[in-house]
Amino acid sequence: MQKSCCVRVTQNPGKAGHEIQSSTLELINGLVSLVHQQSMPDVAQEAMEALLCLHQPDIIELWNPEAPINTFWDVRYDTMPCTRIS
């Protein structure tokens, strides 16, 4: 996925920050689920590339322009599996 596509996907004119954040979380969760599709390696690869694009710092700021850092951490905790640090 090209960076320009990531910018278009994350643009939500007229929406409030919490709505943008919700849309972003839904998109990222969908992509994460596609990454695990072993029966469709091409789709999984495209999903991985899209996730990499969406995690560029200037794109992360678009996840919720009202609170980009908080949104980053909210999305991270909602999409990353729990791990135990020993």
Instruction: Give the whole-angstrom CA distance, residue 45 versus residue 72.
Output: 23
* Nearest residue to 15 via CA among 66, 69, 70, 71: 66
Task: Please write the tens of the pLDDT for every residue from 14-67.
Answer: 778 778 888 888 888 899 899 988 899 999 999 999 999 888 888 888 888 888
Q: 8 pLDDT exceeds 70?
A: no
- What is the per-residue pLDDT for 65? 84
- What is the per-residue pLDDT for 34? 92
- Mark out the alpha helices in 11-67 (DSSP H runs): 17-35, 41-54, 57-60
pTM given for the model:
0.73
- What is the per-residue pLDDT for 72? 85
Tell me the backbone φ, ψ of residue 54, rounded to 5 degrees. -65, -20
- What is the per-residue pLDDT for 84? 47
